[in-house]
A = this chain, B = another copy of it.
Amino acid sequence: MNQQNRRIALASRPVGEPKPTDFRLEKGPIPEPGPGQVLLRTLWLSLDPYMRGRMSDAKSYAKPVGIGEVMTGGIVGEVARSNDPKFAPGDLALGMGGWQEYAVLDGKELRKVDPAAAPPSTALGVLGMPGMTAYTGLLNIGQPKSGETVVVAAATGPVGSLVGQIAKLKGCRAVGIAGGGDKCRALIEEFGFDAAVDHRAPGFPEKLKAACPKGIDVYFENVGGAVWDAVFPLLNDFARIPVCGLIANYNMTELPPGPDRTAAIFRAVLTKRLTIRGFIVWDFQAQAREFAAEVGGWLREGRIKYREDVVEGLDNAPQAFMGLLKGKNFGKLVVRVAK
């Protein structure tokens, strides 16, 4: 065990896009676990779009990270010391350890990770929060029916890729939106989507329309912005729109110019009887076991695939996170903090 804990704290609240100076690398003593607590040595740190929200102090569903506090984040770590009889040194565990090399967490906030069942990093991706976001949002709110068209953006990401693959398992037409030709090829070749549309290529709205000849029955909203604009006119009667993220809007500092489309949205909600519903994965916490069993099973059977984008070293986390907000990652973004 080295003698220091290196961690990345929030140095300042970003205005618009986060910049390197909004983060600060700090060193400090390795914390001591108290009664019932566990000291984890971070192996994998998850980087996810929701973290942008935590950097702001706008009211949201979770409390913001304070200035000077370590950035929040899920980790898979190895138990270094334990005051909880359920965890022994050497065990792997999942918890909200944050952007740091060592974290102390209450044993009851941790979930054991079995490295024999699946690669441990998947507890942060396809078998973790992003996977459960896809699974619960699509099935509870999207309610895809065989023969329907399901559209998702950021489709090579951990949420989008699972949304599309579950849609296929349910007999739907899966249409993925991604940025760039490589990602679009992967959607078809790796993940088995029926169609892929590059939102960066000219004529994106027309191409999306061509990819959805029967309109859109489920739009799994995780980006907002120009993708929503292209999806909106294609929505069918009774379309369902689970909303779990709006990455295209997160760096927005003011509302864009008009006209104000509020009335157009509501007109469509009424005349097409749309359902727009926001959710956070924890709203469906009661389905965690069902998710783990079903998606874990699909994974073992080779019926679903996942892709990871691995960044080496905690120091590279801020840069990787800033890239995530621009869609530079290709697959679930994880930081290998230690081996």
Stretch at the interface among A123-131, A160-168, A177-185, A239-247: A239-247
Q: How would residues 113 to 150 of chain A score, 1 for a CB under 8 Å from any chain B CB and 0 otherwise?
A: 00000000000000000000000000000000000000
Stretch at the interface among A20-28, A259-267, A293-301: A259-267
Among A53, A268, A276, the one with the most B-chain Cβ atoms within 10 Å of its Cβ is A276
Range of interface residues on A (Cβ < 8 Å) = 35 or more
Q: How would residues 78 to 96 of chain A score, 1 for a CB under 8 Å from any chain B CB and 0 otherwise?
A: 0000000000000000000
Stretch at the interface among A98-106, A278-286, A311-319: A278-286
Asked if A210 is at the interface of the complex by the 8 Å CB criterion, the answer is no
Asked if A255 is at the interface of the complex by the 8 Å CB criterion, the answer is yes
Contact status A249-B224, CB under 8 Å: no
Known: A254-B259, A255-B263, A266-B243. A271 touches B59 (CB 8 A): yes
A binding-site residues for B, Cβ under 8 Å: 53, 59-61, 221, 224-225, 228, 237, 243-246, 249, 252, 254-280, 283
| Total identical chains | 2
Contact status B246-A270, CB under 8 Å: yes
Known: A243-B270, A258-B256. A249 touches B263 (CB 8 A): yes
Residues of chain B contacted by A276 (CB below 8 angstroms): 269, 274-277
Min Cβ gap A129→B in Å is 15
CA distance A169 to B274 in the complex (A): 28
CA distance A173 to B287 in the complex (A): 32
Contact status A271-B228, CB under 8 Å: no
Contact status A266-B61, CB under 8 Å: no
Known: A271-B60, A275-B277. A255 touches B246 (CB 8 A): no
Give 18 new A-B contacts, CB below 8 A, not counting A246-B263, A256-B258, A258-B260.
Answer: A61-B272, A228-B262, A228-B266, A245-B270, A249-B263, A256-B260, A257-B258, A260-B261, A261-B261, A262-B262, A262-B265, A269-B276, A269-B278, A270-B278, A271-B278, A273-B277, A274-B278, A275-B277
Out of B60, B260, B268, B279, which one reaches A260, CB within 8 Å? Answer: B260
> Which residue on chain B has the smallest CB distance to residue A262?
B261
Residues of chain B contacted by A61 (CB below 8 angstroms): 237, 271-273
Out of B252, B272, B280, which one reaches A263, CB within 8 Å? Answer: B252
Residues of chain B contacted by A243 (CB below 8 angstroms): 266, 269-270
Residues of chain B contacted by A262 (CB below 8 angstroms): 228, 261-262, 265
CA distance A221 to B244 in the complex (A): 23
Contact status B273-A279, CB under 8 Å: yes
